Structure 1
Amino acid sequence: MEFEVSTSKRVDVVDITEQIERRVFSDADTCTVFVPHTTAGVVVNENESRLLADLETALSSLVPESGGYQHDEVDDNADAHLRSLLLGSSVTIPVTNGSLALGTWQSVLFVDCDGPRTRRIIIR
């Protein structure tokens, strides 16, 4: 099962928790969320605006956009690839009674590092 997410800026974080919840089977034990893109990732964390800004700042600090990367000679987005390596391409979440068993402040966040784009999210 899959759905699409659109982003509006180069580094963009989108809360996809509700979209996943709508697609979780009631008899599932776990839900794996996979991002089939090499310049995007998915994480579980708090959807709080200042924290999301901090995430963007941290990614920019850890992997500057202009870092003299060799891959930039190919398509000028090496920073996006490197940032997505830090984030990971999937998360697996327990399911209880047909709902994601997330903690009080946890959300499933899609992080696009090379937007704006429309991306696919696959869930199983």
Structure 2
Amino acid sequence: MKISVSSRSRVDLIDVTGEVEKNLKIKEGIVVVYTPHTTCGLFINEYDSGLKKDIVKLLEKLVPQGAGWAHDPEEGNADSHMRSILLGHSVVVPVDNGKLQLGTWQSIFFAELFGPRTREVIIKEIKG
């Protein structure tokens, strides 16, 4: 199954938890959430506006845009590629009784790193 995610800015963190859970068909097992794009990422953390700003600030500090990266003359997005490496492209979440087994404060984040764009997220369920 696939869902579409639209970002509003170059770097945008979007909560996709509800959309993933809404589309679950299995009662027990695991779900793999994956993005097939090289300038995006997925991760699990608390969905808090202050924390979102901190995550973006951390990514900008670790991998600054326009820092003379070798790939920049091609598309100007080397920072986006490297940030996606740090975040990863998938998360795996257990499913129990048809519900994602996330912690109280956990959400699944889709990280757009070279937007705004509309992207694809693939959801693969493995029955357990």
What is the TM-score with the length of structure 2 in the denominator?
Answer: 0.95
Task: Give the distance between the partners of 2:73 and 2:63, measured in 1 at CA.
Answer: 17
Aligned-residue Cα RMSD (Å) equals 0.7
Between the two proteins, the alignment pairs up a number of residues equal to: 124
How many angstroms does 1:53 deviate by? 0.2
Secondary structure of 1:59 counterpart: helix
Q: Could you say which residue in structure 2 is the equivalent of 1:80?
A: 80
Question: Structure 1 unaligned runs (5+)?
Answer: none
Structure 2 letter corresponding to 1:72: D
Moved runs in structure 1, 4+ residues, more than 2 A?
none
How many angstroms does 1:2 deviate by? 0.3
Task: Give the distance between the partners of 1:26 and 1:5, measured in 2 at CA.
Answer: 22
List per-residue Cα deviations over 1:28-86 (Å, max 9, x = no partner). Answer: 40000001100000000000000000000000000000110011121110000000000
How many angstroms does 1:24 deviate by? 1.1
Q: Could you say which residue in structure 2 is the equivalent of 1:94?
A: 94
Structure 2 letter corresponding to 1:20: V
> What is the identity percentage for the equivalent residue pairs of Structure 1 and Structure 2?
46
Structure 2 letter corresponding to 1:111: A
Question: Structure 2 unaligned runs (5+)?
Answer: none
